[in-house]
Amino acid sequence: MLVSQILKHKGDLVFTIEPTETIAGTAALLNARGVGALVVLDAGQVVGIVSERDVVRAVAEGGPQALTSEVATCMTRDVHFAEPGELIDDLLGRMTDRRIRHLPVCQSERLVGLVSIGDLVKWKISEVEAEAEGLKSYIAAS
């Protein structure tokens, strides 16, 4: 299964934030949107990604005063991307190896979606279940 198929069903809505937003504002937006990460955009370009882990790490290291710092101080700058034509299995391997849970999806340098490890696992399970049902039907017909 391709990333584009996931985005077709999931949608292409990506919650974003600017690098000048405070860490407190970022935490509030993560909570309000019910998501684990936000893509950080500056002038329409992806400059980072900030996850719940990044926020927790910033507060653990800087104390409560870290909440007034800009999200640029704690975001992940080395962003790994996915492309719509990539296979789920390839992304699962990449995310596991790099210990990341979210990949912005870009096409021609344009942000077109975001996939999480949860999205990929959900689709992988659906794929395996469909295959198992097909095998059951085949065996039953034999």
Average pLDDT over residues 37-42: 97
The domain ranges of the chain are 3-141
Q: Look at the domain 3-141 and name its fold.
A: CBS-domain (3.10.580)
Cα 18 to chain centroid distance, Å, stands at 17
pLDDT of residue 141: 83
Q: How far apart are CA 33 and CA 138, in angstroms?
A: 44
Q: How far apart are CA 51 and CA 55, in angstroms?
A: 7
| Amino acid, single-letter form, for residue 24 | A
- What confidence tier does 49 reach under pLDDT thresholds 50, 70, 90? very high
DSSP strand pairing (16-17 vs 37-42): parallel
The whole-chain average pLDDT of the chain stands at 93
